Amino acid sequence: MTGTPTSTTKRMPAAFLGHGSPMNALETNRYTAAWRAFGASVPRPRAILVVSAHWYVSVTAVTAMPRPRTIHDFFGFPQKLFEIEYPAPGDTSFAQEVAEIAKPTRVGLDHDSWGLDHGTWSVLLHAFPKADVPVVQLAIDARKDLDFSFELGARLAPLRERGVLILGSGNVVHNLRAIDWSKKEIGFDWARRFDEAARATMTERPGDAAALRDHTDYRLAAPTPDHFIPLLHLAGLACAAKQAAQVLIDGYALGSLSMTSFTLEAKCPTDGGDQRPGASLPDPRDVPAEDTNV
């Protein structure tokens, strides 16, 4: 799918992208092709609001600097990955708009501490390769429960009517300690069960997404909730729109990672015959998977 997106006053789509290894930023595979197809299919956004698993802090905040830096928040990867820059502009006035619409939740304006982490730029490099759309990140507040993220997602829904593309970036299943290098494109039974439960929930009853914490395999699938939480923002948006999400692309990596991505109100066909695997992680002899910060 090619072409330059054009502006529109229609409600913008939204998505959750399973980002996996940051090496996907350098590779072309079936996942990056799906992200690229999604970006090419949507109208040109006024701005992009990203909830990345990698800005997981004890505060609710948005980036509010005019030129957010590209953050290389990982370890053990080739130098070429550390040289990537994604020079998208920020938008201070839009950050203030996010803070206003999120009330009564207090959203701090971060003018200098964060930027665009790899959960954001590794997918936007494919979805919006020109880096010419303003990007603002919304932090995940580690003090809050899952219901808070779902409700905040729903509260952000009016932004879609204002030309804003809202993206979550994480992984439905993300357990770096359980990685099995012999299972390059296979999921453990527990990973598949949880991923399938999440798919059923998001495509049939997204209002129940936070209840996935009660699933038998949740603690294995999300030993820390940071990569799962961005999915809840999309679930909240879906519930607000009274729409179900659609699966953009799915698959597994290394036994304990799910690459499933979802879209909301997007018309984005993908190549179902594309079998190119997603990017892997550094050799575990060099750095253990749990120390890579992916």
CA distance 135 to 192: 33
- Please answer whether residues 283 and 78 qualify as being in contact, where contact means their C-beta atoms are separated by less than 8 angstroms: no
No. of helices (H) and no. of strands (E), the chain: 8, 12
Tell me the pLDDT tens digit for each residue of 66-123: 999 999 999 999 999 999 999 999 999 999 999 999 999 999 999 999 999 999 999 9
The predicted pLDDT at position 110 comes to 98
CA 111 to chain centre: 22
Residue-range domains of the chain with CATH: 14-291 (3.40.830.10)
Give mean pLDDT, residues 124-140. Answer: 98
Mean pLDDT of the chain: 95
CA distance 291 to 294: 8
- Please answer whether residues 168 and 209 qualify as being in contact, where contact means their C-beta atoms are separated by less than 8 angstroms: no
Percent of the chain with pLDDT over 90: 91
- Please answer whether residues 208 and 199 qualify as being in contact, where contact means their C-beta atoms are separated by less than 8 angstroms: no
The predicted pLDDT at position 6 comes to 41
CA distance 31 to 260: 9
- Model pTM greater than 0.75? yes
Q: What three-state secondary structure class fits 255? A: strand
Residue for token pair 């190119």 = 276
- Lowest average pLDDT, out of 1-10, 26-35, 137-146, 229-238, goes to 1-10
SS3 content of the chain, % helix, strand, coil (to 5): 35, 15, 45
The predicted pLDDT at position 270 comes to 75
Q: Which two tokens stand for residue 182?
A: 């012999």
